[in-house]
A and B are shown apart, each in its own frame.
Chain A
């Protein structure tokens, strides 16, 4: 059943409200602009779709246009942060941190400056734009950089909290957002602390631990509900992929004895990899991975694509059943 302490929305399974995570980012920027004069936004010609436009209109002197130049987006933000500003850089994740990866590594991560990298249009749920614009490698690119914090919010409300928390934490942060409207699961009362995973669903004596990140967490919850009475599971929101909440993950993995990971990202290098790396050392257990298996995306509707690439509710249900059989 839904975990009470997570203060999730009561209408969660009725799909009453869907909002894109990028909108949570945009709203948070407005609040940060008001609260902290050090916050600036640098954008690569995508003010509307990265939801930085309201910030631009409200704080024009603190909105900096980089043009279609993502390498410069990163280096200029490095300089701004080095000076003392808190820059948020906004573009599509395929370009930032994709195209400008070396600049992020050298001038932001090695340089250890507090640039907050907002990667939009993550995952195949970008839809009709096709493979070139569907970022499936960004978590991997950012997770391997020392000092980089990596956050993948599950809904617009969590995206808002994550954005604000990122401004308040020293050092570089990568924030991952999606284009498509997705179900609102959390409420203002849902706790959010960087690096602290949250239990969203917990049955007594769980036989499978599901670790999910991003909006696909909704599908994981739907799968858990569908299997209620058949297979007891625990669903955990791993919004921070780095640093991983090792204690919570090891604890629930051991308790359940089998694991399913869920993410809208390549299995290689993403959440599944991160958890496998952790459990391989601490508690070797059977794992099933929901995500994209070494493929690029293509055009289609978000729903078609999530189904085609094996990230629908039925796929998670199958993975839970499969891993339960391999349970130690």
Chain B
């Protein structure tokens, strides 16, 4: 049973991750802001509670595997990994720079702990499903998680993989969809309507859960429920606010693929620091 203090500890990590995201994006001068900010709570939950992992030994054989299909939100992963101790926090400032291990889109060969190379949308779920199937063939006990965007539900490959995972009853695979309703060209339901996502995954033989992606306790509970499903893979549709934590960015799809300016970053960091305590109070 998670105590309030445990949740609070994860929330503080999420706040620190958000500050790091803004700091690294402004240093990089390019990159995506809305998605990473919206997923800070879920990545804090992953790296500070859900994942069985060892930052000192990123290749530990029995670790849980976290695949990030929508590689463009990787700043949130880099920030979470840095705060978890995978590498020094200062290295975050090398994001997208020449020679950096922190590529604009994640490359498995560059940084231990990334699990996969991703970015081109729609190809993460298949990688995770293949990995989960290989692990099941060898009776491995670890779990395979796969974070996806809602926009990449447009991609045919996603549904090929959903069909494959459902058919193979990959109960060691848990997918998370960042349902933030935006993609580059606008709102998802304007660009290419996705609803009813839950019914679609159910039809593909998945167990479907929906959760508030900013309610860390609710998200962790949904993961626990997913682990208890033995006959099929589970997808958690996590409803998030793109840009969560900065009013100017929240819900604004034009923030999908641009970084803050230096001036904006100063304001945003101030806003984040004065925000402390607000996110948790929303769930009490």
Contact = CB atoms under 8 A, between A and B. Distances in A.
Interface stretch (B153-161, B178-186, B191-199, B271-279): B153-161
B136 to A, nearest CB: 10
Contact of A106 (B115, B117, B135, B160): B117
A75 B133 contact: no
B20 interface: no
Interface stretch (B22-30, B42-50, B119-127, B213-221): B119-127
Contact of A79 (B107, B132, B160): B132
Residue from the set A61, A74, A75, A84 with the largest chain B CB neighbour count within 10 Å: A75
Interface string B159-171: 0110110000000
Contacts of A321: none
A1 to B, nearest CB: 48
B108 interface: yes
B237 interface: no
B134 interface: yes
Nearest to A77: B130
A264 B115 CA distance: 39
A75 B127 contact: yes
B107 A75 contact: no
The binding surface of chain B is classed by DSSP as helix
A80 interface: yes
Contacts of A72: 126, 157, 160-161, 163-164
Contacts of B120: 102-103, 106
Interface in A91-119: 102-103, 106-107, 110-112
Contacts of B126: 71-72, 74-76, 78-79, 103, 107
A87 B138 CA distance: 15
B232 to A, nearest CB: 17
Contacts of A140: none
Interface residues of B, number: 31
Interface in B256-282: none
A66 interface: yes
Contact of B130 (A62, A80, A110): A80
A82 B116 contact: yes
A82 B65 CA distance: 11
Nearest to A69: B160
A107 B117 contact: yes
A169 B168 CA distance: 29
Given A69-B160, A72-B160, A110-B107, A79 B123 contact: no
B205 interface: no
B134 A75 contact: no
Nearest to A71: B157
Contacts of A107: 116-118, 123, 126-127
A76 B164 contact: yes
Nearest to A44: B160
Nearest to A64: B133
Contacts of A66: 160, 164
A83 B157 contact: no
Contacts of B138: 84
A188 interface: no
Contact of A71 (B130, B134, B135, B156): B156
B109 interface: yes
24 contacts: A66-B164, A67-B160, A69-B163, A69-B164, A74-B126, A75-B127, A78-B116, A78-B123, A78-B126, A78-B127, A79-B126, A79-B129, A79-B131, A79-B132, A79-B133, A82-B108, A82-B127, A87-B130, A103-B120, A103-B157, A106-B117, A106-B118, A111-B117, A112-B108
Given A79-B131, A107-B117, 15 more contacts: A66-B160, A71-B123, A75-B124, A75-B157, A76-B129, A76-B133, A79-B116, A79-B132, A80-B131, A80-B133, A85-B134, A106-B118, A106-B120, A110-B109, A111-B108
Interface of A: 40, 61-62, 64, 66-67, 69, 71-72, 74-85, 87, 102-103, 106-107, 110-112
Interface of B: 107-109, 115-120, 122-135, 137-138, 156-157, 160-161, 163-164
The 10 closest A-B pairs by CB, nearest first: A79-B130, A75-B126, A83-B134, A72-B160, A76-B130, A79-B131, A69-B160, A111-B117, A79-B127, A71-B157
